[in-house]
Amino acid sequence: MKIQHFADIPLEDVDVEGATKTKIRWLISQKDKAPNFALRMFEVEAGGHTPFHQHEWEHEAFVLQGSGVLITEEDEKEFQQWDVIFIDPNLKHQFKNTGDSMMRFLCAIPHKEKDISKQNPLGGAEVNNC
């Protein structure tokens, strides 16, 4: 069990290709012995964005602060504070901050490897983005 303020959890660069002005905090991960999925917070500065990419796992996201657009292969939709966002597995997507202040959102993903005995530290660089 843990209770921890978000600001006390390390803020790490998201340095994958296609990401800019974006950082991540792994709020809950396999390090906490979470058995099924991880909860991350993304912090995207004004003008920043995550990579336009796709993967086999879904995203369950919640916009804490700021606003932006979600770009997918289908269309482009605006989002605002306290919006809920679900992105299906394999759908190409990108989160873009179109506001003039920090945009923060939560994003939960399933573990790639459920065996917590392996203590995959943070799921690896491949999932260190959204």
DSSP secondary structure letter of residue 117: G
Q: What distance in Å separates the CA atoms of residue 48 and residue 100, rounded to the nearest whole number?
A: 10
Q: Does 83 bind its own copies (CB under 8 A)?
A: yes
Nearest distance from C-beta of residue 110 to its own copies, angstroms: 4
Phi-psi region of 22 (alpha: psi -120 to 50; beta: other; left: phi over 0): beta
* Given 28, 46, 102, 116, the residue binding its own copies (CB under 8 A): 28
Report residue 87 CA to chain centroid gap: 11
* Given 16, 46, 71, 85, the residue binding its own copies (CB under 8 A): 85
Positive or negative, the CA dihedral 98, 95, 129, 102 is: positive
Nearest distance from C-beta of residue 4 to its own copies, angstroms: 5
Nearest distance from C-beta of residue 26 to its own copies, angstroms: 10
The region of 46-54, 60-68, 95-103, 116-124 touching its own copies under the rule CB under 8 A is: 60-68
* Given 13, 15, 88, 113, the residue binding its own copies (CB under 8 A): 88
Are 64 and 44 contacting, i.e. CB atoms less than 8 angstroms apart? no
Phi and psi for 12 in degrees, rounded to 5? -115, 150
Phi and psi for 95 in degrees, rounded to 5? -100, 130
Of the pair 17, 86, the CB lying nearest its own copies is at 86
Binding site for its own copies (CB under 8 A): 1-7, 9, 27-28, 32-37, 39, 58, 60, 62, 64, 70, 72, 74, 77-80, 82-89, 91, 93, 106, 108, 110
